[in-house]
């Protein structure tokens, strides 16, 4: 699909005679400097940074007057919409522009966000027309298509007239300027035409059409929400023909398609470099809620009107290969299971040098927080049965959790419980993260004897851990304590199963079987445990 445009001779790079900027409602306002000659040291404005990619390759096709004409045309494409929509140019290079849109202090309804997004959309349309003409030239077939990427951000920065008095030119420095530049990089990486901060889009009051969303991590570990701009909406009472707005949408879509085709081998590689910013497309990050050995944990809105989700995000350039394998495995294992007592997992993907998993959010926290004191017997047995049911579901598809503990049992607001954190789980048939003899995987307080010995494990090791957990739920204490991890492991291997207080004696036979040193003496499955509890009337 190509947007409608007027034909041009291959060597003619003069402005088109087709749809003009004024056809899309661009007013012929003068620069904001004429409305506000006394610039404050810091100005709240909308900053636009646009860069034409593959510009140098196009230049290599030309020479002499032809090249001069082409460079001038690029300059017009990058600056005309800015000027016509009342913006100032802060920096202009052959392939890029930084522009500022502002309102005077007396403006009743500031419209600089609308004008900034409007200019970005028009610039993409004009750039696509130019790229079509370049592509029609002899020798251009093997060149990557020229594409425009634009970042637009509303914020505060220092904006001052240039001392040389050049009309319509200003100096602009500050955080808002850098964010506009970062958004251009983000648009490039995501193959969007225009990336705008959500605040900019909100201030534009519906003037721009939006597509996908995301969250962009900043150097100070904060986030800004971003949106993809996909088109322009007509103003109320607009006389502009609807077809003109369709042309803008088409140009933005074509620009994106070309970007995807020409970006092979650049976006992902660049994003994986040290210092790459964190960006998760399709999610609005609400806050950071944790930090693990391999991953950072964020609470995020998936933008679909549903409940928040948890994002486990792992940075690729700081992760060993086996760590990435375990991270990917967690999703590969969990996506096989659909059970109310197993945490739901929604998506696994890669985004700008990071791998991430989107999972169910548990606002009520984990079981560890509830075990600061003993549970009543009814609650302890309810959690035992729910945990056993979850284990039965994962064991049925050949998954062994290997790290069952209160921290990995999550509570929902309705009182249900779910198994989570399968980072060291193993699917016996796949052997993705098989451990050698002597390797210990799991948490020492809850390890089975065979894990402590470094022996191969099966589903019965999870049942031993469930026995340890059962003791803790009933008594408020772990069954074994030692001064060192080595001594603690030795207790798991050799010490007898602890005796419960007389008031809890009814549960002793169950605990004895769960925590038997010889796994052949344990329940052979989670279902066998549930059947025994039912027969005992527990």
Which of 8-17, 212-221, 238-247 comes out lowest in average pLDDT? 8-17
- Judged against a pLDDT cut of 70, whether residue 283 lies above it is answered with yes
- Position with higher pLDDT, 84 vs 260: 84
CA–CA separation, 367 and 380 (whole Å): 11
Which pLDDT score, from 0 to 100, does residue 148 have? 97
Residue with tokens 């969303």: 213
| Structure tokens given for 112 | 């600089």
- Judged against a pLDDT cut of 80, whether residue 165 lies above it is answered with no
User: Across residues 30-55, what is the average pLDDT?
Assistant: 72
Which pLDDT score, from 0 to 100, does residue 275 have? 37
- The answer to whether 310 touches 289, Cβ cutoff 8 Å, is yes
- Judged against a pLDDT cut of 80, whether residue 30 lies above it is answered with no
Which of 311-325, 408-422, 444-458 comes out lowest in average pLDDT? 311-325
Q: How confident is the model at residue 22 (pLDDT cuts 50, 70, 90)?
A: low
User: Across residues 503-508, what is the average pLDDT?
Assistant: 97
- Judged against a pLDDT cut of 70, whether residue 525 lies above it is answered with yes
**What is the CATH class of 280-360?**
alpha beta
What pTM was computed for the model?
Answer: 0.67
Which of 326-330, 497-501, 530-534 comes out lowest in average pLDDT? 326-330
Which residues partner with 1 through β-bridges?
none
- Residue 50, classed as helix, strand or coil, is strand
Q: Which helix (H) or strand (E) holds 122?
A: helix 112-135
Judge whether 37-233+243-268 and 367-535 match in fold. Answer: no
- Position with higher pLDDT, 461 vs 398: 461
Residues in Cβ contact with 336 at an 8 Å cutoff, skipping those fewer than 6 apart: 397, 399
| Structure tokens given for 105 | 């202090």
Using one digit for the tens of pLDDT, what is the confidence trace for 227-271? 999 999 998 888 999 999 999 999 999 999 998 887 654 443 333
Using one digit for the tens of pLDDT, what is the confidence trace for 426-443? 544 333 233 333 344 446
User: Across residues 210-220, what is the average pLDDT?
Assistant: 86
Residues in Cβ contact with 429 at an 8 Å cutoff, skipping those fewer than 6 apart: 398
Q: Is 403 a catalytic site residue?
A: yes
Q: Tell me how far CA of residue 511 lies from CA of 192, 244, 452, 464, 493, in angstroms.
A: 58, 74, 19, 9, 16
- The answer to whether 120 touches 113, Cβ cutoff 8 Å, is no
Which pLDDT score, from 0 to 100, does residue 153 have? 97
| Nearest alpha carbon to residue 152 among 171, 126, 124, 131 | 124
| Nearest alpha carbon to residue 98 among 71, 120, 118 | 120
Which of 53-67, 224-238, 433-447, 464-478 comes out lowest in average pLDDT? 433-447
| Structure tokens given for 316 | 């690729």
- The answer to whether 203 touches 107, Cβ cutoff 8 Å, is no
CA–CA separation, 422 and 460 (whole Å): 16
Which pLDDT score, from 0 to 100, does residue 442 have? 47
| Structure tokens given for 300 | 């995020």
Q: Which contacts qualify for 454-457: CB closer than 8 Å, 24 or more apart?
A: 457/400, 457/402, 457/426
Q: How confident is the model at residue 80 (pLDDT cuts 50, 70, 90)?
A: very high
Which pLDDT score, from 0 to 100, does residue 9 have? 34
Which pLDDT score, from 0 to 100, does residue 63 have? 80
Q: What CATH number does domain 367-535 carry, 1.10.730.10, 3.40.50.720, 2.60.40.10, 1.10.510.10?
A: 1.10.510.10
The proportion of the chain whose per-residue pLDDT surpasses 70, expressed as a percent, equals: 81
What is the pairing mode between strands 194-197 and 147-161? parallel
Q: How confident is the model at residue 382 (pLDDT cuts 50, 70, 90)?
A: very high
| Nearest alpha carbon to residue 68 among 20, 76, 79, 145 | 76
Which of 46-55, 355-364, 389-398, 417-426 comes out lowest in average pLDDT? 417-426
- Judged against a pLDDT cut of 70, whether residue 481 lies above it is answered with yes
Which residues partner with 418 through β-bridges?
410
User: Across residues 371-400, what is the average pLDDT?
Assistant: 94
> Of the residues 403, 434, 462, 490, which is catalytic?
403
Domain boundaries, the chain: 37-233+243-268, 280-360, 367-535
- The answer to whether 51 touches 184, Cβ cutoff 8 Å, is yes
Q: What is the DSSP string of 232-266?
A: EPPPTT--S-HHHHHHHHHHHHHHHHHHHHHTTTT
User: Measured on CA atoms in the order 361, 367, 369, 370, is the torsion positive or negative?
Assistant: positive
Q: How confident is the model at residue 349 (pLDDT cuts 50, 70, 90)?
A: confident
| Structure tokens given for 196 | 């705008």
Which pLDDT score, from 0 to 100, does residue 42 have? 78
Homologous superfamily of 37-233+243-268 in CATH?
Nucleotide cyclase, GGDEF domain (3.30.70.1230)
- Position with higher pLDDT, 322 vs 135: 135
- The answer to whether 310 touches 299, Cβ cutoff 8 Å, is yes
User: Across residues 213-227, what is the average pLDDT?
Assistant: 84
CA–CA separation, 95 and 97 (whole Å): 7
| Structure tokens given for 158 | 């220092």
Residue with tokens 């701009």: 229
- Judged against a pLDDT cut of 90, whether residue 100 lies above it is answered with yes
Which pLDDT score, from 0 to 100, does residue 74 have? 95
| Structure tokens given for 345 | 């997992």
């Amino acid at each position: 699909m190509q947007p409608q445009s007027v034909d041009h001779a291959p060597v003619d790079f003069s402005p088109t005679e087709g749809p003009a900027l004024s056809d899309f409602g661009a007013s012929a306002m003068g620069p904001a400097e004429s409305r506000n000659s006394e610039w404050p040291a810091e100005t709240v404005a909308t900053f636009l940074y646009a860069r034409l990619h593959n510009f140098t390759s196009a230049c290599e096709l030309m020479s002499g007057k032809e090249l001069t004409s082409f460079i001038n045309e690029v300059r017009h494409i990058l600056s005309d919409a800015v000027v016509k929509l009342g913006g100032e140019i802060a920096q202009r290079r052959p392939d890029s522009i930084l522009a500022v849109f502002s309102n005077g202090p007396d403006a009743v309804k500031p419209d600089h966000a609308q004008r900034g997004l409007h200019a970005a959309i028009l610039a993409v349309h004009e750039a696509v027309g130019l790229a079509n003409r370049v592509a029609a030239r002899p020798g251009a077939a093997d060149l990557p298509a020229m594409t425009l990427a634009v970042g637009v951000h509303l914020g505060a920065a220092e904006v001052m007239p240039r001392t040389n008095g050049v009309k319509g030119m200003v100096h602009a420095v500050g955080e808002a300027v850098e964010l506009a530049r970062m958004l251009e990089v983000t648009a490039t990486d995501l193959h969007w035409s225009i990336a705008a901060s959500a605040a900019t889009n909100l201030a534009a009051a519906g003037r721009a059409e939006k597509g996908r969303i995301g969250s962009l991590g900043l150097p100070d570990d904060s986030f800004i929400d971003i949106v993809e701009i996909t088109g322009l909406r007509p103003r109320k009472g607009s006389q502009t023909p609807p077809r003109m707005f369709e042309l803008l949408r088409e140009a933005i879509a074509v620009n994106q398609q070309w970007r995807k085709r020409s970006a092979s081998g650049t976006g992902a590689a660049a994003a994986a470099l040290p210092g790459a910013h964190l960006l998760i497309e399709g999610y609005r990050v609400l806050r950071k809620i944790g930090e693990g050995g391999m991953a950072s944990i964020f609470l995020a809105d998936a933008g679909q009107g549903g409940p928040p989700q948890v994002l486990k995000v792992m940075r690729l350039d700081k992760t060993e290969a086996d760590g990435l394998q375990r991270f990917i495995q967690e999703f590969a294992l969990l996506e096989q299971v659909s059970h109310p007592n197993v945490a739901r997992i929604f998506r696994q993907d890669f985004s700008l040098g990071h791998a991430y998993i989107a999972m169910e959010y548990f606002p009520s926290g984990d079981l560890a927080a509830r075990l600061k004191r003993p549970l009543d017997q009814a609650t302890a047995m309810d959690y035992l049965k729910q945990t056993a049911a979850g284990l039965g579901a994962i064991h049925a598809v050949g998954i062994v959790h290997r790290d069952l503990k209160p921290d990995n049992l999550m509570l929902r607001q309705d009182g249900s419980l779910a198994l989570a954190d399968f980072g060291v789980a193993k699917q016996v048939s796949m052997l993705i993260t098989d451990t050698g003899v002597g390797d210990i995987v799991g948490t020492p307080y809850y390890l089975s004897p065979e894990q402590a010995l470094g022996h191969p494990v099966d589903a019965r090791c999870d049942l031993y851990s469930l026995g340890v957990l059962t003791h803790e739920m009933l008594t408020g204490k772990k069954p074994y304590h030692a001064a060192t991890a080595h001594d603690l492991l030795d207790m798991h291997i050799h010490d007898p199963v602890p005796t419960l207080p007389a008031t809890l004696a009814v549960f002793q036979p169950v605990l004895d079987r769960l925590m038997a040193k010889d796994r052949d003496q344990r329940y052979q499955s989670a279902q066998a445990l549930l059947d025994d509890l039912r027969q005992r009337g527990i």
